[in-house]
Structure 1
Amino acid sequence: MMPSVNPDSSDKDSEPFVETDPTGRYGRYNELLGCGAVKKVYRAFDQEEGIEVAWNQVKLRNFSDEPSMVERLYSEVRLLRSLKDRNIIALYSVWRDDQRDTLNFITEVCTSGNLREYRKKHRHVSMKALKKWSKQILKGLNYLHTHEPCIIHRDLNCSNVFVNGNVGQVKIGDLGLAAIVGANHVAHTILGTPEFMAPELYDEDYTESVDIYSFGMCVLEMVTLEIPYSECDNVAKIYKKVSSGLRPAALNKVKDSEVKAFIEKCLAQPRARPSADELLKDPFFDEVIDDDDDENEYESVGSY
């Protein structure tokens, strides 16, 4: 165990820690990396490994009247600890701070933030690069879906996929809405981001194929730089379109017929929707080298 670090004893030239974990290994800075409905994510440092990490913090007093929400958070953390895959965000440590009434967990940090913001920042990206990102997301989904027991993410979207831009690597994160389901692979709760939710999610009777639908919407957003169903100004209108089988207007902006056909496969009726494993073998990925760490080739192009 490392000695505890005193945030006030830092040299004046070094950045002070706002707090440290009980072992003194991890120190949290005041810089916010992200903020969601449930947790805040801060930049932090692993003094043992000498690497930057993400310090996820949830103020439990916000959920004093919602024990089910607290249990969900614990479930996310327990789930993350069991997952070991290069395309899933890794969890290093977790603890509850009774004094501050917070749940804290340390995860790996991706240098370039989430895929939605990264794609907005880099508007001219080759189709080859987009396919590489897509393939890595599918690899992560395949890992979850073939896990024992099967894990359904249920809230896959471009803001929950994170990027290491220097090596073109993407990883699935934010598994807070994930459901571990049994052998029958059927789950029964409505949760998620409306624009990315498969129609059967609203019927509360679905399988891991809902993640394939959401993945299709992620590919659509990556290609068009537009969040699906952005033509709808409220959730009710999105629900009406999704449940009626009406595709988002953004799909009409996809010029490349191969790309459009691939997205349509992902958005098909549940029984016709391919699995992650089947999609990984799709000719769509024929030109993608099967190595996540190869150097990405970028070329400036217009729309696809």
Structure 2
Amino acid sequence: MMGALQLQSNGDGAAEGLLPDPGYVEVDPTGRYGRYNEILGKGSSKTVYRAFDEHRGMEVAWNQVQLHDFLRGPAELERLYGEIHLLKSLRHRAVMRLHASWADAAAPRLAVNFVTELFTSGTLRQYRLRHPRAGAAAVRRWCRQILDGLAYLHARGVIHRDLKCDNIFVNGSQGQVKIGDFGLATVARRRGSPHAARCVVGTPEFMAPEVYAEGYDERADVYSFGMCVLEMVTLEYPYSECVHPVHIYKKVTSGIKPAALYKVKDPAVRRFIDRCLAPASRRPSAAELLSDPFLQLEDGCGLGYGDDADYSAMYNYLHQPACLDHHHHAGSIGSTASNGVVSNGGGGGGGRWDDESEDEDDDGSMFQGIDQLFNEHEDDELHVAGVDITIKGKRMQDGRIFLRLRIADKDGTGDGTLALTIER
């Protein structure tokens, strides 16, 4: 029975009892999720309630959308279904996760429900205003996570089209941020395709100039990300000096930057934001921005990657050598990288509901065994299946990073060295 646990007899013949009902006002068709009558947030057509996942023993967010509000136009209904379908396909540590969805035809008003992760600290905009003393290291940490999520989305042809701090959600106790609200997102069929790049959608303060021109790609999200960074460091909404969206449109299309940008005094931060706001032809991708010197300044690991597991940029330059012995950790489910992230081979498990598939991220499999390259107990030397591997790195004064990877057989044959220089 949903919401009530059986109590066994204590042996004196007393009848079995029931624990008090936890106060659910609604349950999902499977009986796994129970909704409380506690509203976490409310919009024009969507209400978010606190709920509980009995299978995993954790609180979740129950999103309820009244379809009556969408029947005024088929485009809005299609947008809702598109968001749900898109969320189901995404599995990444920096992207909001959808657990379940269903339509409730028996409700007084036809509704669609979907269960997502519960974010304990609200949106990044709310969180930043609540904690105005967060330092530069915190901002870099948030930036790396957001870019990590954007790189994942863009690699799959997904353009968010409404990235802003109001659509980035926070678990404050973990310092974790995730991209959410995919109501305006779309999927391009292939890179360079004009598909999904002809609609003027988004929030004016965060929309790239090329969006207004109705010709854009995933780099429009990078521009929006730059405006997010500006808001993070100044606590000001971009173009807050404008009183009407038309004024914003005129400034953006004329190349006039928001007034808040000129309040940024740190040259590294200013240069980073300027890269994000550059014209589309010169604007870097999210993956390229992960290696920007501004994000490498945090104390911790030698290359500036802290304990938040955002080491995607490193993977762009160091791929796991094919000679690594994948049986080295025989019997383990996955390999644990030096920063503590466990990667289970393969992507998310589609419609499976077992714990293993739900906890997997699509981005995990690429790091299988990469911890062997950074084994802190081997004094920079790795010995795998008759192979010696050495990796050394150095940051140059001009901001470049020099890496040297040497792979050699123990008998002296097959010696090879790969030298990489990462430009700033």
Give the TM-score of the pair, scaled to structure 1: 0.90
C-alpha distance in 1 between matches for 2:131 and 2:262:
22
After TM superposition, give the deviation of residue 47 of structure 1 in Å.
Answer: 1.2
Once the two structures are superposed, what CA deviation does each residue of 1:125-169 show, in whole Å capped at 9, x if it has no partner? 11011000011000000000001xx00000000010011111111
1:270 CA drift (Å): 0.5
Q: 5 Å matches for 1:211-226?
A: 211-226=221-236
Per-residue Cα deviation, 1:5-38 (whole angstroms, up to 9, x for no partner)? 59xxx976x6511211111111111222222344
Cα distance 1:5–1:66, how it changes in 2: closer, same or farther (>3 A)? Answer: farther
Structure with higher helix content: 1
Residue 45 of structure 1 corresponds to which residue in structure 2? 52
Query: Are residues 1:291 and 2:307 paired?
Result: yes
1:21 and 2:11 matched: no
Q: 2:260 aligns with which of 230, 250, 261?
A: 250
Secondary structure in structure 1 of the residue aligned to 2:116: strand
Partner SS, residue 142 of structure 2? helix
Q: 1:112 aligns with which of 121, 125, 128?
A: 121
Query: Aligned to 2:238, what secondary structure does the other structure show?
Result: coil
TM-score, with normalisation over the residues of structure 2? 0.65
Q: CA deviation at 1:208?
A: 0.3
Partner of 1:299: none
Matches within 5 A, 1:158-173: 158-173=165-180
> 1:248, 1:206 → 2: CA distance?
21
The letter of the residue matching 1:260 is R
The question of whether the paired residues in 1 share the 8 Å contact of 2:3 and 2:22 is answered with: no
Following the alignment from structure 1 to structure 2, what is the Cα–Cα distance between the partners of residues 225 and 260? 15
Distance 1:199 1:86 in 2: 30
Residue in 2 that maps onto 1:71:
78
Separation (CA, whole Å) in 2 of partners of 1:163 and 1:93: 21
1:201 deviates by: 0.9
Stretches of structure 2 lacking an aligned partner (at least 5 in a row): 5-17, 299-304, 310-338, 340-424
The alignment yields a C-alpha RMSD, in angstroms, of: 1.8
SS at match of 1:291: coil
Q: d(CA) in 2 for partners of 1:160 and 1:216?
A: 14
Q: Secondary structure at the match of 1:32?
A: strand
Residues 53, 60 of structure 2: 8 Å contact kept? yes
Structure 2 counterpart of 1:292, which letter? D
Evaluate the alpha carbon distance shift between residue 89 and residue 65 of structure 1 in structure 2; reply closer, same or farther with a 3 A threshold.
same
Name the counterpart of 1:152.
159
Moved runs in structure 1, 4+ residues, more than 3 A? 3-6
Structure-1 residue corresponding to 2:277: 267
Distance apart, 1:67 and its partner CA: 1.5
- Structure 1 counterpart of 2:216, which letter? Y
AA aligned to 1:157 is K
Distance in 2, Cα, partners of 1:5 & 1:191: 43
* Aligned equivalent of 2:204, options 194, 201, 207: 194
Within 2, Cα distance between the matches of 1:50 and 1:96? Answer: 24
1:166-191 deviation line (CA, Å, top 9, x unaligned): 11111000011101012224321111
**2:104·2:112 contact (CA, 8 Å) conserved in 1?**
yes
Provide the rounded CA distance (Å) in 1 between the counterparts of 2:151 and 2:115.
24
Q: For 2:250 and 2:178, how far apart are their aligned partners in 1?
A: 31
C-alpha distance in 2, partners of 1:259/1:239? 25
* Secondary structure in 2 matching 1:29: strand
Match of 1:245, SS? coil
Is the contact between residue 4 and residue 22 of structure 1 (CA under 8 Å) also seen in structure 2?
A: no
C-alpha contact (below 8 Å) 2:100/2:115 kept by paired residues: yes
Q: Structure 1 residues 35 and 185, CA, compared in 2 at 3 Å: closer, same or farther?
A: farther
CA deviation map 1:245-289 (0-9, x unaligned): 110011111111110111011001001000001100111111242
2:416 match: none
The Cα shift of 1:63 comes to 1.4
State whether structure 2 residue 143 is matched by structure 1 residue 125: no
- Structure 1 window deviating more from structure 2 (54-63 vs 183-192): it is 183-192
| Distance in 1 (alpha carbons) for counterparts of 2:87 and 2:144 | 21
Q: Secondary structure of the residue that 1:258 maps to in structure 2? A: helix
Distance in 1, Cα, partners of 2:50 & 2:92: 22
1:61 and 1:265 map into 2 onto residues whose CA distance is 43
| Separation in 2, partners of 1:88, 1:253 | 31
Q: Which segments of 5 or more consecutive residues in structure 1 lack a partner in the other structure?
A: 295-304
Aligned to 2:185: 178
Question: Greater RCO between the two (CA within 8 Å, min separation 6)?
Answer: 1
Closer, same or farther: CA 203–38 of 1 in aligned 2, 3 Å: farther
Distance 1:86 1:37 in 2: 29
What's 2:69 paired with? 62
> More displaced, 28-37 or 70-79?
28-37
Number of residue-to-residue matches in the alignment: 287
8 Å CA contact retained: 2:276, 2:284: yes
Q: Distance in 2 between matches of 1:245 and 1:26?
A: 49
